Amino acid sequence: MTMEKTNVPERWEPRIIGFLCYWCSYTGADSAGTARMKYPPNVDVIKVMCSGRIDPELITTAFANGADGVLVAGCHIGDCHYMEGNFKTMARMPLMRRILEDLGIEPERFEHQWISAAEGEKFVKTVTSITENVRKLGPLNWPKLMKERGVGHGMDLEPWGD
């Protein structure tokens, strides 16, 4: 059998940025690892001290720089190590979801969950579901989209009168 060269593009894998709070969700992810649970490797985890420190600006930065999805996870309400931090997350994330929807980003690309240090299983479930949802939607590729329609457009135009 001869091997034929095909033009099949390199397999695309969803790239998801996960912001996890140090005290609960990151430890939850750790416990999933310690228990040898299997989950897709598509979430790049960024550890933050508290989910209340996740400025909505970070979410738009992630999408604008090419993330296909964003996961935000923190302690359950009432469990915050800093008492009030996740109350801010609780209000910010639904508002952020509305903003993203208005900008045409599918709601499945943005996930917000409360994951405690003991909930390794919930972490696995969340990561699996967002990865599968994003895989179904396909790449978002915001930098390419913006390049196609805007910044840098017509850069080769000559100044008037030349």
Judged by CB, which is closer to other proteins: 12, or 87? Answer: 87
Judged by CB, which is closer to other proteins: 91, or 118? Answer: 91
Q: Which residues pair with 72 in a beta bridge?
A: 19, 112
CB of 1 to other proteins, least distance (A): 43
HEC profile of 28-97: HHHHHHHCCCCCCCCEEEEEECCHHHCCHHHHHHHHHCCCCEEEEEECCCCCCCCCCHHHHHHHHHHHHH
Judged by CB, which is closer to other proteins: 106, or 132? Answer: 106
Identify the H or E element spanning 132: helix 120-137
CB of 96 to other proteins, least distance (A): 6
CB of 149 to other proteins, least distance (A): 4
Asked if 102 contacts 139 with a C-beta cutoff of 8 angstroms, the reply is no
Length of the chain: 162
Contacts to other proteins by CB under 8 A: 55-57, 59-61, 63-64, 77, 87-88, 90-92, 94-96, 98-99, 102-105, 140, 142, 145-146, 149-155, 157-162
CB of 158 to other proteins, least distance (A): 7
